[in-house]
Chain A
Amino acid sequence: MYCDKVIELLKELERSREDTIPPYNNDGINQVLSEMKTLDAEIIEFLRKQKDNLPLDAIRLRRAAIERNKRCLMTYIWTRLQRLKEMRWEIGAILPSDVRQNLSQSEIEWFNNYCKTLVSYMKTIGSDTGLNLTQDTKPPKSLYTEVRSLVDAGKLELESGEVLILRKNSQYMLSRSQAEPLIRQGILEQVRQ
């Protein structure tokens, strides 16, 4: 029956967890595209062969199938992009390598462009240095915060120029803006008050 392949694609996407991106199914997409081309050729064939007494239902059905294939393919790509976009905000500009493997070439390109656009937008707002929108997602209560390092992360250069060596299980007092990205990445942990 028409459109079965594209539904398989979407099911694959639906089954995966919402915070992951499954591998880009290039084969599946090409199969759907060739199905669409066949349908289109069939419609043109009908129009050419019979001038009157057209099999209207058959043509309508094929047209609907083409439209539906298009909608499903676009949904496939759109859903993946939504997840990718969310990853930019959650994980940051550098994606883990196994996420990157699952992306298509154009998706990687899109992600790079998205990062660029976001950065250049953040430069234009706020005072002269710009405003980092990914920071302070929750209202801050103090400028400095006490953190504990969860791993031997190595050197960290502070805003003042000093170099701090992060060792596992030791505690530091850091400025909030510097600590937040590291906390979000799971390197530091905020010491509970």
Chain B
Amino acid sequence: MYRNIKPHYFSIDAIMAAQEKIQCSFIKNVEHVDFLDMTNAEKDEESDPKIELPLWMIKVFIAGKSIQFDIPKAYNEIYRGVLTADANVVDLFKLCKHFYLFGKFLSQLEHREAYEVRRTLIQTFIDRFKQTMDWAQNIDDNLPCFNRLDCLERSIFNDARVAQQHLNTYLTEGSGQMEIAAMISNYRKRKMHESRVLE
């Protein structure tokens, strides 16, 4: 199936990326929103109250100019430094599940560091791409590596693996071989597993 990597209206990844939380603080008072009501919470006099909201809500408040947000940990100056130094050693999935997509949405908001974030995203992708391809094509047991990839890289990785397998089959067995549909063979394996579990 043709896979669309670009975020679109129906893309689950894009929706999930916009659900990532950002720490922010309000400049103006916002009334009539229950879960933002801080009057009952203990007041900390020294620091201004901070709250974590998902990205799509932040977007709403930015349009009303009533919020200020901090760049999340994965994109701040320290991590940008780490990524620039060597992007290959970072566990992106742990850092942020939708690292590239969330970063892209983030850099579209108005923030003074937006430009740097964007640049880091592109450079990180370029630096890591070679390693991703290398893993996909050459290592058989690649679960430990796979766990460190972000969602976008994972889909590239999976596509690369399938393509490599197709190429291998072609080189060893030639073309024109008819095979059981992948969906059915997976379905059977699942059934077999279920019946074994039942026993």
Contact = CB atoms under 8 A, between A and B. Distances in A.
A138 B57 contact: no
A169 to B, nearest CB: 17
A106 B11 CA distance: 22
Dominant secondary structure of chain A at its interface with chain B: helix
16 contacts: A1-B35, A3-B56, A7-B16, A57-B30, A58-B31, A60-B64, A74-B10, A90-B181, A91-B181, A91-B187, A183-B178, A185-B181, A185-B184, A186-B180, A186-B184, A192-B177
A180 B178 contact: yes
Contacts of B187: 19, 91, 96
Contacts of A74: 9-10
Interface of A: 1-3, 7, 10-11, 13-14, 17, 19-20, 46, 55-58, 60-61, 64, 68, 71-72, 74-75, 78-79, 86-87, 90-91, 96, 138-141, 145, 176, 179-180, 183-186, 189-190, 192-193
Given A7-B19, A79-B10, A138-B176, A58 B184 contact: no
Contacts, number: 112
A139 B176 contact: yes
Contact of A145 (B178, B180, B190): B178
A34 B178 CA distance: 50
Contacts of B30: 55, 57-58
A88 to B, nearest CB: 11
A145 B179 CA distance: 13
B163 to A, nearest CB: 16
Interface residues of B, number: 40
A61 B182 CA distance: 45
B198 interface: no
A185 B181 CA distance: 7
A192 B178 CA distance: 10
Given A57-B60, A61-B33, A10 B185 contact: no
B64 A13 contact: no
A19 B176 contact: no
A45 to B, nearest CB: 10
Contacts of B176: 138-141
B56 A86 contact: no
B10 A10 contact: no
Contact of A78 (B10, B31, B56, B185): B10
B188 interface: yes
B35 A87 contact: no
Contact of B188 (A55, A79, A186): A186
Given A55-B32, A64-B57, A179-B178, A91 B9 contact: no
B32 A13 contact: no
B12 interface: yes
